[in-house]
């Protein structure tokens, strides 16, 4: 049954002089009941079947990956986590959801990545054709020849900072927040690759423009809006969006907007600048407009620096807290470094010859995946039967990476254990 829109209900009320509030309440109850009934055959938390507030609460508490993990653990490979949201741990189904020519389409969840009204980026497109086109425009920027040299320069800065300020000696022990330094490293490196203009947080050893603080405060809100489509629509209106969309400023995300805007302006006004080997120049040379390039740069910086910092911190934590792994890994690295001159940073091709290092990195990404978003897709019109269970059309189906990567079916009985040898 397709319910009338709120506008149609309002017209009906005015024509027949029915007490508006009573009708709206009855309409809302009926709508919620029908929404509940269409997926009532799927198991899941009771409250989640009636309201998105279950998801909003768990995201706001920054525990969604753990809460959804428990849902899949309790209710199985296909569970309900919202009135119109289903989570799956079925790897074959996930391959089908994410396939190039999948019958499933991108859901409104992706709209939460839209940073400015009317300007989509590669993450916020819901039209699959537009999304594919934009990916093709962006793909050359991720294979630039100079990226390894840029990464090496920031590795050298990180090592230099540690040696200069944080090496303990006979005069005392010096404490260092390594997690923070890794954030500085990731942000500077991604900013440099994307725009050619890093924040230089590593040089100054501080969150210079309060970007890290600002994003830590705002990301939970962005994630929460993804599960409240009505809230996203309101926030994207022409009256409200200008008040909350990131704009050029001296602090936080606004500083990224400021730098990206200035760098785009320079590329457009100075033709010599268009030859720079960074992602921004590649964006512009592949048919992306001025405004689109600004927001693609911001998305690259937001997503790239955060996930990289998470991956690096998790990997280092697992290495430092597992003496057996640490000893074996150091021995392998020393076997390579003995053939290098002092302070030489190994090349990517040389590092790839270290099998235990590669296994350690992959195992860390398995146990602690940097991205745990569900990335839901929409079932095709008419619905589909999945493992004997019918899922109606226009239902959001997302994946549960935290559970999949820790599943005993996928990674043996010791799946919860960090073990690079697996």
Q: Which of 153, 24, 52 is nearest to 112 (CA)?
A: 52
Question: Is the pLDDT confidence value at 74 over 70?
Answer: yes
Higher-scoring residue by pLDDT: 355, 267: 355
Determine the average pLDDT of the residues in 142-151: 85
Q: What is the pLDDT of residue 249?
A: 67
Q: Which two tokens stand for residue 324?
A: 């057996």
Angle (deg, nearest 10), helices 252-269 and 290-320: 130
What kind of architecture, by CATH, is found in domain 139-321?
Orthogonal Bundle (1.10)
Higher-scoring residue by pLDDT: 333, 343: 333
At 154-186, the pLDDT tens digits run 999 999 999 999 999 888 899 999 999 999 999
Residues 6 or more apart in contact with residue 76 via CB below 8 angstroms: 43
Question: Is the pLDDT confidence value at 16 over 70?
Answer: no
Please give the distance of CA 421 from its chain centroid, rounded to a whole number: 28
Question: Is the pLDDT confidence value at 35 over 50?
Answer: yes
Q: What is the pLDDT of residue 131?
A: 95
At 307-328, the pLDDT tens digits run 999 999 999 999 999 999 999 9
Higher-scoring residue by pLDDT: 238, 295: 295
Q: Which two tokens stand for residue 148?
A: 């390894």
Determine the average pLDDT of the residues in 380-388: 93
Q: What is the pLDDT of residue 270?
A: 67
What is the b/e burial string over 272-311, where b = at least 16 CB atoms within 10 angstroms of the residue's CB?
ebeebebbbbbbbeeebeeebbbbbbbbbbbbbbbebbbb
Residue 198's φ and ψ, nearest 5 degrees, are: -70, 160
The answer to whether 122 and 115 have CB atoms below 8 angstroms apart is: no
At 88-109, the pLDDT tens digits run 999 999 999 999 889 999 998 9
Q: Which two tokens stand for residue 128?
A: 């699959």
Question: Is the pLDDT confidence value at 61 over 80?
Answer: yes
Higher-scoring residue by pLDDT: 72, 230: 72
Q: What is the pLDDT of residue 1?
A: 42
Percent of the chain having pLDDT more than 70? 86
Measured between alpha carbons, how far is 169 from 416 in angstroms, rounded to an integer?
A: 38
pLDDT band at 247 (very low <50, low <70, confident <90, very high): low
Q: Give strand ranges (E) for 222-300.
A: none
The answer to whether 268 and 290 have CB atoms below 8 angstroms apart is: yes
What letter does residue 119 receive in the DSSP assignment?
Answer: B
pLDDT band at 209 (very low <50, low <70, confident <90, very high): confident
Higher-scoring residue by pLDDT: 246, 293: 293
Measured between alpha carbons, how far is 13 from 27 in angstroms, rounded to an integer?
A: 11
- List the domain boundaries for the chain: 6-123+371-411, 139-321
The answer to whether 137 and 283 have CB atoms below 8 angstroms apart is: yes
Measured between alpha carbons, how far is 318 from 339 in angstroms, rounded to an integer?
A: 27
Measured between alpha carbons, how far is 92 from 95 in angstroms, rounded to an integer?
A: 5
Q: Which of 212, 260, 18 is nearest to 115 (CA)?
A: 260
């Amino acid at each position: 049954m397709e319910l009338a829109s709120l506008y149609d209900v309002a017209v009906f009320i005015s024509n027949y002089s029915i007490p508006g509030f009573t009708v709206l309440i009855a309409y809302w109850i009926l709508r919620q009941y029908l929404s509940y009934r269409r997926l009532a055959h799927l198991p899941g938390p009771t409250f989640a079947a009636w309201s998105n507030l279950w998801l909003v609460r768990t995201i706001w508490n920054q525990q969604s990956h753990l809460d959804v993990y428990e849902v899949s653990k309790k209710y199985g490979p296909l569970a309900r986590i919202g009135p119109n949201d289903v989570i799956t741990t079925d790897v074959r189904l996930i391959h089908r959801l994410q396939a190039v020519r999948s019958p499933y389409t991108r859901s409104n969840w992706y709209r939460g990545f839209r940073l400015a009204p009317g300007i989509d980026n590669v993450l916020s497109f819901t039209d699959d054709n537009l999304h594919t086109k934009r990916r093709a425009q962006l793909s050359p920027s991720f294979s630039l020849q100079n990226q390894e040299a840029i990464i090496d320069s920031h590795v050298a800065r990180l090592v230099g900072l540690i040696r200069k300020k944080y090496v303990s000696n006979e005069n005392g022990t010096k404490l260092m927040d390594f997690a923070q330094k890794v954030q500085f490293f990731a942000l500077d490196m991604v900013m440099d690759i994307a725009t050619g203009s890093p924040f230089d947080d590593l040089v100054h050893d501080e969150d210079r423009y309060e970007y890290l603080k600002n994003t830590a405060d705002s990301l939970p809100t962005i994630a929460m809006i993804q599960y409240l489509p009505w809230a996203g629509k309101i926030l994207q209106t022409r009256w409200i969006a200008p008040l909350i969309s990131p704009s050029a400023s001296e602090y936080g995300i606004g500083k990224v907007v400021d730098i990206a805007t200035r760098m785009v302006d320079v590329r457009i006004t100075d033709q010599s600048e268009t030859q720079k080997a960074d992602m921004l120049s590649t964006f512009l040379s592949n048919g992306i407009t001025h405004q689109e390039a600004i927001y693609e740069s911001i998305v690259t910086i937001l997503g790239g620096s955060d996930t990289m910092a998470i991956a690096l911190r998790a990997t280092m934590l697992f290495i430092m807290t597992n003496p057996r792994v640490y000893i074996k890994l150091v021995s392998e690295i020393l076997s390579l470094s003995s053939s290098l001159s002092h302070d030489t940073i190994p090349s990517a091709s040389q590092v790839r010859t270290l099998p235990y290092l590669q296994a350690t990195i992959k195992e860390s990404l398995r146990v602690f995946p940097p991205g745990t978003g569900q990335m839901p897709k929409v079932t095709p019109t008419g619905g589909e039967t999945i493992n004997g269970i019918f899922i109606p059309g226009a239902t959001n189906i997302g994946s549960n990476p935290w559970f999949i990567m820790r599943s005993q079916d996928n990674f043996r009985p010791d799946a919860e254990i960090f073990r690079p040898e697996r």
